[in-house]
């Protein structure tokens, strides 16, 4: 079955991300290539990882009323916007820390995810996202309205019940 409407979603997301100098590409999961100013996004969530992310973001920024998609998108943009803070050594440390969380915490997903969001680049990407959304509520509302419209069309075209 062919999925219809992905181009329209990508267009709306890119209209938004280009205001930050960032390009968005459809992917299997949310992610960022900060030095290239590219982010990946999806409409499919990882229940375990994303639940803990959202809890962390909402606890740190209770005044921000954003859905999971917006938080994740802004977090990835945040990686691009805070990349200048880190040296190559910092980035190697962060990558090593993320890759070794299983070794430190085994299969305890909740503890592993809590620590993941405390790693410097992850923490600062969320901080940037929360502060930006707090400072620009009208821009966020306008983007959400466009996304809701295009997602409604996407769901209708693909016979998906939201």
List the chain domain ranges: 6-157
Residue partners of 84: CB distance under 8 A and separation at least 6 = none
Per-residue pLDDT of the chain (162 residues; tens, 9 = 90+): 567 888 999 999 999 999 999 999 999 899 999 999 999 999 887 776 788 889 889 999 999 999 999 999 999 999 999 999 999 999 999 999 888 877 766 666 777 777 888 999 999 999 999 999 999 999 999 999 999 999 999 989 888 886
Task: Please give the angle made by the CA atoms of 5, 6 and 11, to the nearest 5 degrees.
Answer: 100
DSSP output for 97-134: HHHTHHHHHTT-HHHHHHHHTTSHHHHHHHHHHHHHHH
Under 8 Å between Cβ of 31 and 40: yes
pLDDT the model gives residue 106: 66
CA atoms within 13 A on the CB side of 160: 13
C-alpha–C-alpha distance, residues 23 and 11, integer Å: 10
C-alpha–C-alpha distance, residues 115 and 98, integer Å: 9
Under 8 Å between Cβ of 28 and 42: yes
């Amino acid at each position: 079955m062919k999925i219809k409407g992905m181009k329209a979603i990508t267009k709306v997301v890119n209209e938004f991300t280009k205001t930050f100098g960032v390009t968005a590409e459809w992917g299997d999961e949310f992610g960022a290539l900060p030095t290239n100013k590219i982010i990946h996004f999806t409409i499919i969530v990882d229940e375990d990882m994303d639940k803990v992310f959202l809890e962390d973001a909402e606890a740190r920024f209770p005044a921000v009323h954003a859905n999971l998609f917006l938080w994740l998108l802004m977090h990835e943009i945040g990686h691009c916007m805070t990349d200048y803070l880190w040296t190559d050594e910092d980035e190697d440390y962060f990558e090593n820390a993320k890759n070794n969380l299983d070794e430190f915490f085994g299969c305890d997903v909740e503890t592993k995810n809590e620590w993941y969001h405390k790693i410097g680049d992850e923490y600062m990407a969320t901080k940037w996202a929360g502060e930006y959304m707090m400072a620009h509520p009208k821009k966020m509302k306008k983007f959400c309205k466009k996304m809701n419209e295009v997602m409604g069309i996407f769901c209708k075209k693909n016979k998906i019940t939201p």
